[in-house]
Amino acid sequence: MPRTPRARSAEPAPPAELPPASLAALDAYLAQVEGVRRRSPMTVRNYRSDLTHYLGHLAAHGIDHDAAGRTDVRGYLARLRDEELADASIRRRAATVRGFYRWLDAEGGPLRNRPGDSILRLRYPKVGRRLPHFLSVEDATALVGAPDPDTPNGLRDRAILELLWGAGLRVSEVAGLDVINLDLTNGQVRVTGKGDKTRICLYGEPARHALRRYLDEGRPRLATGAQTALFLNRSGARLTARSIQTMVRNAGMQAALQSSVHPHMLRHTFATHLIEGSADLRVVQHLLGHASADTTQIYTTVAHRRKGTLISDALARARSTEAARRDTFGAREAVEDAPLPPDRVAG
């Protein structure tokens, strides 16, 4: 019987204090993640939180981190499930733990787990695959039209929304843009994404027009000095990702959209609309900055499901129209075949 998806819940109780050896291994691993693998500060913070909780669990049970085995990790994951942590969060923690032990093994650290109980062979818990939510063209158009075009903040917000929808950027990528990254002539923007990887993203005429208006009329009224950032707040400093998230949510309310909107939903919308327009999957993968086409593949499922819904709705309307036509035709035949009343018969 399939497992009922769990709702998001509170984080488990704080872990025990880490032994010095575990703490040293954790700090060395995170230094590698940040300095060599170039993961974002948010990713490093999440890794630290997940691994601190796991290592604290081992310490509370008297297990050294380098002696733990797959059985111990399964016990930890079972505890998280008992505490009703969401399935997706449990899977993320399992992946983080295995990555930590892969690094320990690669660095030559002596792993002292029982034979046949290696964490390197840990399998992740299965979770249901959730399809991303996206906006229709009508809703996305209403959203980008919500900001006031007569104010510098409104011009800025319109440009951000057009870029989120028209180029499929992550919110952190938009916040990190500098003016020099923008190429209005060719409709391109150079983006620094995950792992400090750069890519060229394209945008259309609506985004180009909104960006040009912001640069000509909005940004000069926000800038208070020499500032390289493309999008500025009212103090003249770089606009933060959190501020962009708040702006997008408020624009959704101004546009009277039924669902709550966040920046990543516009990224989903960008990808889904491209796939619906028969764009090549590899092209969409590059524009989104996905390392694997498997990540991009989910948008084909969304597009196909949407097409199926549209076809079903069209068929239902066609059947309804045909039934109405038949009813009308049948009524007309009945009238024509009915005998005329005596006063209508010609003498």
Looking at the structure, do residues 149 and 269 belong to the same domain, yes or no?
A: yes
pLDDT tens per residue across span 209-267: 999 999 999 999 999 888 899 999 999 999 999 999 999 999 999 999 988 899 989 98
Q: Which pLDDT tens digit goes with each residue over 173-204?
A: 999 999 999 999 999 999 988 878 889 999 99
Q: Which phi and psi angles does 182 have, rounded to 5°?
A: -95, 135
Question: Is residue 161 helix, strand or coil?
Answer: helix
pLDDT over 80 at 342, yes or no: no
Q: Is the dihedral of CA 265, 270, 276, 282 positive or negative?
A: negative
The verdict on whether 124 is a catalytic residue reads: no
Residue 45: which domain range?
A: 20-121
Which one of the listed residues 238, 264, 286, 306 is annotated catalytic?
A: 264
Q: Is the Cβ–Cβ distance between 300 and 289 less than 8 Å?
A: no
Last residue of a domain, one of 121, 155, 183: 121
Q: Is 183 helix (H, G, I), strand (E, B) or coil?
A: strand
Let me know whether 92 and 164 are in one domain: no
- Which of 158, 170, 219, 268 is catalytic? The answer is 170
| Whether residue 76 lies in the annotated active site | no
Q: In the chain, how many domains are there?
A: 2
Please tell me the distance from the alpha carbon of residue 257 to that of residue 316, in angstroms, as a whole number. Answer: 26
- Catalytic pick among 194, 209, 221, 262: 194
**To which residue do tokens 């009329």 refer?**
217
Based on the domain organization, do 147 and 106 belong to the same domain? no
**Over the stretch 95-126, which tens digit does the pLDDT of each residue have?**
999 999 999 998 867 788 888 888 988 887 66
Asked if 266 and 172 sit in the same domain, the reply is: yes
Most distant CA pair in the chain, distance: 116
Instruction: Respond yes or no: is residue 299 known to be catalytic.
Output: yes
CATH number of 33's domain: 1.10.150
- The tens digit of pLDDT for each residue in 311-328 reads 445 555 556 666 666 666
Residue type, 304: H
Find tokens 């818990």 and name the residue.
Answer: 125
In a shared domain, residues 93 and 153: no
pLDDT at 258: 85
Same domain, yes or no, for 36 and 106?
yes
Q: What is the per-residue pLDDT across 289-299, written as a single tens digit (0 to 9) for each?
A: 777 766 666 66
Residue 104, phi then psi, degrees to nearest 5: -60, -45
Pair 151, 278 in one domain: yes
Q: How many CB atoms within 10 Å of residue 168?
A: 26
The one catalytic residue in 53, 156, 208, 267 is 267
Q: Is residue 156 flagged as an active site residue?
A: no
Q: Is residue 56 domain-resident?
A: yes
At residue 347, the 3 state secondary structure works out as: coil
Do 192 and 173 contact (CB within 8 A), yes or no? yes
262 catalytic, yes or no? no
The answer as to whether 112 is a domain residue is yes
The CA distance from 100 to 76, in Å, is 15
Are 111 and 155 contained in the same domain?
Answer: no
CATH label of the domain that carries residue 284: 1.10.443.10
Mean pLDDT of 28-44: 88
User: Where is the domain boundary, 121, 149, 172?
Assistant: 121
The helices-and-strands tally (H runs, E runs) of the chain is 13, 3
